[in-house]
C-alpha cells in the first residue's frame, strides 16, 4: 500500500502475528518503534508510538485508511517532528507529551503535565479540567510529577517507571465538588472545596516539607511500578 502511494516504509512483523502486528523502527534514539496493529472485526488499524524512558505514548490513533497509517509510520521512522506526523496523517492523535532526548526528570515532568492538560481539555468534564489547570498553575504542585489513578490527581517525587508517591489525592465528583484526601477513594479527608483553586490550596498545605527536585524513577524492584489513568 505504501509503495502504491508513492512512498516506502520498512516494517517487521512478529512471527506469532504476521498479519496482526507490524513494527516500524525509528532512526531517533529517543523514540521506541511505532507499533501498528490490525483490528480483528473490521478493516481498521491502530498505531501507538512511545518514548523510551517511561514507555508513555507520544502519538496514537486508528484509521481505516492503510495509506494514512503507512504515512504516519514513515514519518515516525524518518524522525519527523510530532506535529508533522499529525499533518501527514490527520488521524494521528498527539498526546501532548513532547520528546525528551535524555531522561531529564524536569523535562519529563513538564511533558507529563502537558499530556495531562491535553487529556483534560479533551474530556467533557469541566470540573476535572479546572482541577488540572489549577494544579498546574500552582508552582509547588507543578514541580512534582503528576499522575492519575481512577481519575484522581496524585503526585510523585520521581518519574515513571517507578513512582514515589507524596502528598494528598485530589478528586472531583459528578456534582463538581472537590475532595482533598489521603486515599484515592476519598478516605481520610483533609478538606472539601467547591472550587478547584480552593482544593489546590488545601492540597499544598498537606505537602511534606523539604521536598527536593523530582528525580528519574528507575526500576530497582520488579514489584514497584507506576499508575495509569
**Average pLDDT of the chain to the nearest whole number:** 92
Q: What percent of the chain has pLDDT over 70?
A: 92
Q: Which band of pLDDT confidence, cut at 50, 70 and 90, is reported for residue 130? A: very high
Q: How far apart are CA 6 and CA 149, in angstroms?
A: 44
Confidence of residue 225 (pLDDT cuts 50, 70, 90): very low
The pairing of strands 158-161 and 215-217 is: parallel
Q: Tens digits of per-residue pLDDT, 101-112?
A: 999 999 999 999
Nearest of 157, 151, 156, 161 to residue 184 by alpha carbon: 151
Residue entry with cell 478538606: 191
Q: Which residue has the cell 512534582?
A: 144
Give pLDDT, residue 6.
58
Place of cell 497509517: 69
4, pLDDT greater than 50? no
What is the DSSP secondary-structure string of 45-56? Answer: EEEEEE-TTT--
CA distances from 154 to 24, 32, 34, 67, 164 (A): 34, 27, 29, 40, 11
pLDDT at 220 (0 to 100): 60
Amino acid at each position: 500500500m505504501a509503495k502504491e502511494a508513492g512512498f516506502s516504509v520498512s516494517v517487521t512483523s512478529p512471527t506469532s502475528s504476521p498479519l496482526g502486528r507490524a513494527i516500524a523502527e525509528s532512526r531517533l534514539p529517543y523514540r521506541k518503534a511505532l507499533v501498528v496493529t490490525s483490528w480483528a472485526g473490521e478493516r481498521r488499524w491502530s498505531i501507538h508510538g512511545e518514548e523510551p524512558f517511561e514507555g508513555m505514548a507520544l502519538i496514537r490513533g486508528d484509521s481505516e485508511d492503510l495509506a494514512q497509517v503507512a504515512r504516519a509510520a514513515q514519518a515516525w521512522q524518518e524522525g519527523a517532528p510530532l506535529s508533522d506526523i499529525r499533518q501527514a496523517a490527520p488521524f494521528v492523535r498527539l498526546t501532548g507529551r513532547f520528546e525528551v532526548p535524555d531522561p531529564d526528570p524536569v523535562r519529563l515532568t513538564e511533558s507529563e503535565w502537558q499530556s495531562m492538560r491535553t487529556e483534560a481539555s479533551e474530556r467533557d468534564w469541566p470540573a476535572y479540567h479546572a482541577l488540572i489547570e489549577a494544579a498546574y498553575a500552582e508552582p509547588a504542585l507543578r514541580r512534582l510529577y503528576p499522575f492519575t489513578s481512577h481519575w484522581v490527581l496524585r503526585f510523585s517525587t520521581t518519574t515513571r517507571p517507578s513512582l514515589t508517591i507524596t502528598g494528598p489525592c485530589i478528586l472531583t465528583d459528578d456534582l463538581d465538588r472537590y475532595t482533598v484526601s489521603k486515599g484515592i477513594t476519598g478516605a481520610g479527608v483533609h478538606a472539601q472545596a467547591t472550587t478547584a483553586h480552593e482544593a489546590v490550596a488545601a492540597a499544598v498545605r498537606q505537602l511534606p516539607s523539604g521536598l527536593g527536585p523530582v528525580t528519574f524513577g528507575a526500576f530497582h524492584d520488579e514489584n514497584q511500578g507506576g499508575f495509569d489513568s
